[in-house]
Structure 1
Amino acid sequence: MIEVKRDNDPRLEDPWYQTKLDLAGQIYARLRLLFLIVRSDEIPNDVNARLKLIADRRHTEVTLQDFDILRTIFLGRQMRLTYAEVVAALGGGPVGASKVAAFQVRRDLSIDLSDELGEDSLVNFLGW
C-alpha cells in the first residue's frame, strides 16, 4: 500500500491525521503488507502519469454485479489476469478501463504499474 501525499498537504501537520497514518501502518504490518507514505514530488514523472490515469477514474461507479464479475473471472485463475482480460469482462473500452481503475483505488484489484500500463499488465484480485 502506497499513500501518496502532496508536499503542501496541510493534513501532514495535523497530529490526529499523523496518528491515523501510524495506525494504518500498524494494521498493514500485522497483515504483513508494506505501507509507505510518499510525497508526490518524489515520484518519477512516468510513474506519476500512470498513477494519475488510475486516480482520475476513481469516482467511476461500480456495482455489486461488477464485483461479482471480478470474483467469477478470477475464480480458479490463481488470482491473476491481464489488464485486457479484466477490462473486457467489465464491459470493455473506456467503461471497462474506468471500472478497473475504480476497483484499483478501492483496493479490490492491484495492477502492476511497474511498467507502462498495457493490455498485458498483470492484475491481481484482492477482494476476497
Structure 2
Amino acid sequence: MTRHIGKFCDNGVVARIVRSVDGGPIRQMVTTGSTKPTGTFVSLKGGSRAMPWESMKCELPALELAEVASPVVSLMAQPHRLELFVRRRRDPLIYFPDLELTVESSLYSRLMAPRPFAEALLQWRPDPGRSTGYRTVVVEVKDDDDPRNDDPEYQRKLSLAAKVYRGLGFGFLVIVRSHDLACVDLDLVHNVALENYTKVSPIDVDVCMRWLSSSGGVGRLGGLVMRLGGGATGREKAAALHVRRVISVDLSQGFLPSTPVSLLHPMSSPGLSKAA
C-alpha cells in the first residue's frame, strides 16, 4: 500500500511523492531472471528495516557509508516514488531515488558543494554546543559505466527531479562511485557497519559518556576501547556506539588507538543510543 505525500507544481511540471504506508522502502528488488548480485542491509538508522540494494559496488557501500557517518541521523533506501507529470506528455515520468537521508544541517552546505560525497560525510565534525537542526537529502547512486549516464531522456528526468526536490526544500545529489565513494576506505566503513547491532549496555554508554565528558568531550579511540573491555570486544562496542551516534569516531583517520573520538549530544538522535 502507498500514500501520497508532497506535491509540487511549477512551469508546466506537476509532481507528487508517493511513500509506502508503513514508512519503509517503497519497493524491494526483484531478482527473478537476473544474475546481478542484489540483497538487503538491515539498517539501525533505517528503523531496523531491511534496506534493498541492487549494486554491490555502489548502492551497498553508499548504504554502509550512511549507516556509519556521524552526521546522518536516519536513512531510507528506495524511499519513495516521484511521479512527474509533464506538459504534452500523456504518461508521467517515474523516478525511484536510491537513498533519502536526514542529515545535520551543518553538513548540508558541504554536501551541496562540489566535493566527494564520502569525504564530506567522514570529515564532518560535531559541535555539541550548537544544534542546527536537520535537512533532507535525496541521493542517486551511479556506477561509472552505467549506460544511463549517456541517456538524454534519463538525464532529463534527473534534471526535473532535482528541480522538484529543490522546490520542496530537499537537497538532491547524483553521486558516482569513482569520485564520491572510492575516495575513502570502504573496507573500514564496511567493518564498522557490521557492528551496528553489537550489544552495548546502559553501563557501556554511561562509561563512554563520563570518560569523554571528563576530558572536554574528546579523547582517543584507544582509551575508550580500554574502558569498554579492551581488545576486540572494546573495539566492537566503540564501533556500535559510533553508529548509534553516542560518539563520533574520526573514521577519516582510520580506526586506530590514536584516532580522535568526540562525544555527540546525547539527545541529537533520539532512540539510537538506546539500541542494544
TM normalised by structure 1 equals: 0.74
Structure 1 position 107, deviation (Å): 0.8
Structure 1 position 86, deviation (Å): 0.5
Matches of 2:220 and 2:138, distance apart in 1: 28
Structure 1 position 45, deviation (Å): 6.4
Matches of 1:6 and 1:12, distance apart in 2: 14
Structure 1 position 90, deviation (Å): 0.4
2:234 paired residue number: 96
Tell me the amino acid that sits aligned with residue 78 of structure 1: G
Aligned partner of 2:197 among 29, 38, 59? 59
Which residues of structure 1 form unaligned runs of 5+?
A: none
2:220 paired residue number: 82
Structure 1 position 44, deviation (Å): 1.8
Cα deviation per residue 1:24-43 (whole Å; 9 max; x = unaligned)? 34xx3284378767648331
Aligned partner of 2:105 among 24, 29, 38? 29
> SS state of the match for residue 190, structure 2?
helix
2:186 paired residue number: 48
Bigger drift between 49-58 and 32-41 goes to: 32-41
Matches of 1:76 and 1:116, distance apart in 2: 24
Tell me the amino acid that sits aligned with residue 78 of structure 2: R
Aligned partner of 1:109 among 247, 256, 259? 247
Structure 1 position 46, deviation (Å): 4.8
- Superposition RMSD in Å: 3.5
Matches of 2:259 and 2:134, distance apart in 1: 21
2:79 touches 2:100 (CA, 8 Å); kept in 1?
no
| Bigger RCO of structures 1 and 2 (CA < 8 A, at least 6 apart) | 1
| Structure with a larger share of its residues in strand | 2
Bigger drift between 6-15 and 60-69 goes to: 6-15
1:68 paired residue number: 206
2:218 touches 2:263 (CA, 8 Å); kept in 1?
yes
CA shift in 2, pair 1:127/1:69, >3 Å: farther
Structure 1 position 116, deviation (Å): 2.6
2:59 paired residue number: 6
Matches of 2:133 and 2:258, distance apart in 1: 25
| Structure with a larger share of its residues in helix | 1
Which residues of structure 2 form unaligned runs of 5+?
A: 1-57, 64-76, 83-95, 107-130, 142-175, 267-276
Tell me the amino acid that sits aligned with residue 247 of structure 2: L
2:184 touches 2:252 (CA, 8 Å); kept in 1?
no
Bigger drift between 37-46 and 102-111 goes to: 37-46
TM normalised by structure 2 equals: 0.37
CA shift in 2, pair 1:61/1:81, >3 Å: same
Structure 1 position 79, deviation (Å): 0.7
Report which of the two structures shows the higher radius of gyration computed on alpha carbons. 2
Structure 1 position 14, deviation (Å): 3.6
